Amino acid sequence: MKNNTPRRGGFMARNRAGHPTACHPPYKTSVKRSPQAALLSYPSSLSEESGPVFGPDVLGPLDNDMITNFAAPGEMAIGPRIVVHGRVTDESGRGVPRTLLELWQANAGGRYRHKKEGYLAPLDPNFGGCGRCLTDEDGQYEFRTILPGPYPWPNGVNDWRPAHIHFSVFGSSFAQRLITQMYFEGDPLIWRCPIIGTIADKSAAERLIAPLDMKRTIPMDARAYKFDIVLRGRRQSYFENRREGL
């Protein structure tokens, strides 16, 4: 059996000038993490331009409902309920179908569920803090979750992370892999955050802020926020403290 799938053309180059600064002294850990030598770029290879392929069989029935996917029977996560939705597109504005999105976040009190968490806010026994879904044929996705809380972190004397959700997007190939963060419209902590300060272009940082979407709000249930993701190109979504991604 022959594989007649034609090889794809190369992807548009990433706009390095728009990526977060690798070394940003106000973000203290970036000083030791940042590269010490000049970065190199290489043409993408066939393996980077093909796969991975995900199907609905990798998902559970509640994977995109973080309000209930970790809860005991009959219980739900505590906190303001929200819907997060949007569209994943490539560098040319085309929807990316059947791409896997994974989300993780703190609970409503600002605490993550992991062993090395240093913030002593209470854990919610009915909230696991992670979920996943596949985009549809037009690149659309949707999650139900709770609004995460802000939390302090040991960067400066009194630094707080704004409320945010982490996204991992696989794209249609390894060359499109993206890890980023989504913030919420109107949060006063956004522009005080040293991690946001690594992005010199304010308009680029603003593309990480999800606006309130009253058209998708569920009355008497959940607010909605819209977060579109661009995987490559000049207006791509920005990486989480990385210049080239994975």
Residues with active-site annotation: 112, 151, 161, 164, 166
Cis peptide before 52 (omega within 30 of 0): yes
Question: φ and ψ at 103, to 5 degrees?
Answer: -120, 145
Work out the angle at residue 175's Cα, subtended by the Cα atoms of residues 43 and 34, and round it to the nearest 5 degrees.
Answer: 85
Handedness of CA 98, 102, 107, 108 (dihedral sign): negative
| Beta strands 178-184 and 209-210, pairing class | parallel
Per-residue burial over 161-198, b = 16 or more CB atoms within 10 Å of its CB, e = otherwise: bbbbbbbbbbbbbbbbbbbbbbbbeeeebbeebbbbbb
Of the candidates 68, 36, 92, 71, the one whose C-alpha atom is nearest the C-alpha of residue 235 is 92
CA distance 4 to 127: 46
